[in-house]
Amino acid sequence: MAAGFDKDCKVVGSVLNLGFGFTTGGTVTLSPRPGNPKPRMVRLPEQRAVMNSMGFPGQGLEPSVKRLQSSQRYKDRVLVSISGTIEDEIFECLRRSQDFVSGIELNISSPNTTGLRIFHEPARLRGLIEGLVSVKKVPLFVKLPPWPRDDENRRELLKLAATAVDAGVDGLVIANPHPIESSRLQVGRGGLSGAPLFEHTELMIADIQAQVQGEVAIIACGGVSTGEHVWKLLASGASAVQLYTAFIYEGPGLPARINKRVSKLMSAAGITNIGDISGEPPSIR
């Protein structure tokens, strides 16, 4: 499960019991935040998509840390997403949460939150990551902005990924929702997630894998809803796959169905290790 569903880390165990291999709580910020004004989430059923401008609403770090501390039996399968607009806030989130999770996801790319673009400056991002790396005890992942097909910012965003890797991150999450403008959102803009993103996600994973050549882990996120989607992303170089919006449309049985489908595809392909997935998924009913 991707970040954004369990914003205050209230249901990590319940999410995992649905069949997810891991879940990412948050995004958690140091202090409580109300988020952006409503309406801030709009379903687009005809596209199986969602527009949101949530803006990190949450109770703040302290309640989330307490819940994570009480859920230690799940620790090995829980990450927490953290963010802020000031380095000191982010450092504090990492220091106080990392003992209770198996990894930290640094969200510097939410299209729904003002103030994060300062970390899209390579020098600023490098300084932040190098500082976090010096004190981290668990793997650190950075969630990057998307670069849809033929996006004019593709080269700059790939440079951002290279900066993060060079600064010492253990992995990259590709990617946050795609920026979108809409009068249906109170603030007039937000992020698009769901089915329309998958083709872009597949291309972005291939881009990143070609750049990092296995040097860091890659978590794919965007438009995933089927076992075939998972297969294609793993074949493109992803180490793991997240979903969120499809869960809204498909319901709580989705992760188990995807797991069963991937298992069948692997059997049809004659492989027993998920790391051996390559090429197009076999055609099976």
Residues that are catalytic: 110
Q: What is the distance between the alpha carbons of residues 19 and 175, in angstroms, rounded to a whole number?
A: 22
| Token pair belonging to 177 | 């929702």
* DSSP 8-state code for residue 272: -
Start-to-end Cα distance in the chain: 26
- Give the residue carrying structure tokens 């769901």: 194
Both tokens assigned to 147: 């670069």
Question: Cβ distance 78 to 67 under 8 Å?
Answer: no
DSSP tally for the chain: helices H, then strands E: 9, 11
Tell me the CB-side half-sphere exposure of residue 3, using CA atoms within 13 A: 33
Q: What does DSSP say about strands 140-144 and 103-107: parallel, antiparallel, or unpaired?
A: parallel
Asked if 187 and 57 touch (Cβ cutoff 8 Å), the reply is: no
- Reference 23, options 92, 101, 112; nearest CA is 101
From CA 11, how far away is CA 82, in angstroms rounded?
17
| C-alpha span between 168 and 28 (Å, rounded) | 22
